[in-house]
Structure 1
Amino acid sequence: MAAVNLDIADGVAHIVLTRPDQANAFDLPAARDMAAAVEGLAGDDVRAITLTAQGKRFCAGGDVRSFLAADDPSAYLLELATVLEAALRALADTPKPVVAGVRGAVAGAGLGVMLSADVIIAAESTKFVMAYPGIGMTPDCGVSYLVPRAIGQQRALEFALTGRVLTAPEARDWGLVTTVVADDELEPAVEDMARTWADSAPAALGQAKRLIRGAWDLTGPQTGADESATIAAAVTTDEAQRLVRAFTSR
């Protein structure tokens, strides 16, 4: 059985982590399964994406037992981190909006998995922790890039260096997650968000996502020029013309 499942129905792709007995931690086969799942998102039948997990915990990061059991732990970890980071970067870069639903615990590389989504909905009881110092390890899978951009450098340093565990409300207040819901409302909230996207203007949403995520690597004038060219192209699409006509006829 794959460690990451992909199912597509009614315009929504569902990526599900399926190693609940290992707290959905990633070993090398699981990282390869994530890469395969992301590759399956390219079709025009996908208009929105959900990212969730089976069991009580969203993701505990890397599967420590797997690399301790490897003949060459360093080589194993290098391949694991490289494969998973590339898959998560591809997910973040896909021109489809992604909503993650997290519960239980999000630790270590699990933060990178979570932050590959554009909107993050957390169950109220969820806890968040870097976890790396406790096992003598360092951030991987984009965590050192994504976390400071979400919460700022000083909070990221505190989060990484002190072992602080954030509650879901704290994570929301810091900007690590988008919103917090009651535990039993998580799945409906995730599905509602994906359904709203799938039924609206996914091409425009994808371009908005690209502009915002890509702005970190551009100057202000470069971003402005990109915005102008993108909106000029957007107005010519069937999607935009239909929605503009509907708006002006109200």
Structure 2
Amino acid sequence: MTSPTPLVTQDGRVLTIAISTAEKGTSLNRQGVTEGALALQQVARGQRDVAAVVLVGNGANFCAGGDVLSFAGADDRSAFLRDLADNFHAFVNALHESRLPVVAAVKGWAAGAGMSVVTHATIAVGGTSTKMRPAYSGIGLSPDGGMTWMLPRIVGAARARHIILTNKILDADEALSLGLLSEIVDDDAVEARAHEIAAQLAAGPAAAYAATVGLIQAGATRSLPEQLIAEGASISTLAAGAEGREGVDAFVEKRKAVFG
């Protein structure tokens, strides 16, 4: 079924992707992640001018996980879930490969696939009532969406094992202390704050942000000497670009830099 409300919108250089809707209890929306992946691929091909991404849920929650009722109703559950996972993973890969700053507006629950998505955000804004839960083991499944890859990198391997295997519920304060959330605001201000941050990032040095995200991503599997070489190459390349020249000149001239 096609959602009557657009799930992918763009305002200036900020791309907003709704990964869930109120329909089916704010479970992961296949149309949202499919259209989101296509939009991110358009950015990569230069067909969209985007400098930041906001991920939202169009309902009471950011995303309450997969649509378990559809799992149960499938004639071939294995094939059905593999297809869903492949579609979801195309979206996760597109997010990762975009190297764009990604701001998640994590209101309400982020469970299962929703929690997986949060781990891929550059900045995650939660509300005082925000809660997270892996959820997969509760229905006898292992995680998807890159949770087993990202969560250990955020909270450490021991904590990740404990959180996933015990299906631990994390409230907003614990999620903040573990680094899953970047900040907490009032529940009714979550999306506004996420868009405010994205707008700020979209007005900044896009090439520098992309390079920084790329360095952080690659740094997880590099040695320190390898990372230092990559940092040296990146900063020298940026220094010769328009943003680097503008940023340095503005600092010297004691004025605000204008990027983009």
Shorter chain as normaliser: what TM range?
A: over 0.9
Give the letter aligned to residue 73 of structure 1: R
Give the alignment's TM-score, normalised by structure 2: 0.90
- Find the aligned partners of 2:129 and 2:144 in 1 and give their Cα distance: 25
- Find the aligned partners of 1:208 and 1:62 in 2 and give their Cα distance: 32
Residue 4 of structure 1 deviates from its aligned partner by 7.2
- Find the aligned partners of 1:52 and 1:227 in 2 and give their Cα distance: 32
* 2:214 counterpart of 1:203: no
Which digits, 9 at most, give the CA deviation of each residue in 1:15-40, with x for residues without a partner? 12342132332365554334334324
* 2:181 counterpart of 1:147: no
Report percent identity of matched pairs.
34
Residue in structure 2 matching 1:169, options 169, 173, 187: 173
Does the CA-based 8 Å contact 1:27-1:66 persist in structure 2? no
Does the CA-based 8 Å contact 2:40-2:95 persist in structure 1? yes
Give the letter aligned to residue 228 of structure 1: G
> Counterpart of 2:243 in 1: which secondary structure?
helix
Cross-structure match for 2:43:
41
Cross-structure match for 1:14:
16
- Find the aligned partners of 2:161 and 2:174 in 1 and give their Cα distance: 16
Cross-structure match for 1:225:
229
Alignment CA distance shift 1:36-1:76 (3 Å): same
Does the CA-based 8 Å contact 1:126-1:167 persist in structure 2? yes
* 2:134 counterpart of 1:134: no
Cross-structure match for 2:190:
186
Does the CA-based 8 Å contact 1:31-1:80 persist in structure 2? no
Residue in structure 2 matching 1:75, options 79, 90, 113: 79
Cross-structure match for 1:110:
114
Alignment CA distance shift 1:127-1:21 (3 Å): same
Does the CA-based 8 Å contact 1:122-1:186 persist in structure 2? yes
Consecutive unaligned residues of structure 2, counting only runs of 5 or more, are: 255-260
Does the CA-based 8 Å contact 2:20-2:32 persist in structure 1? no
Consecutive unaligned residues of structure 1, counting only runs of 5 or more, are: none
> Counterpart of 1:22 in 2: which secondary structure?
coil
* 2:11 counterpart of 1:5: no
Alignment CA distance shift 1:133-1:18 (3 Å): closer
Which shifted more, 86-95 or 3-12? 3-12
Give the letter aligned to residue 16 of structure 1: A
Residue 243 of structure 1 deviates from its aligned partner by 1.3
Q: CA RMSD in A?
A: 1.8
Cross-structure match for 2:240:
236
> Counterpart of 1:41 in 2: which secondary structure?
helix
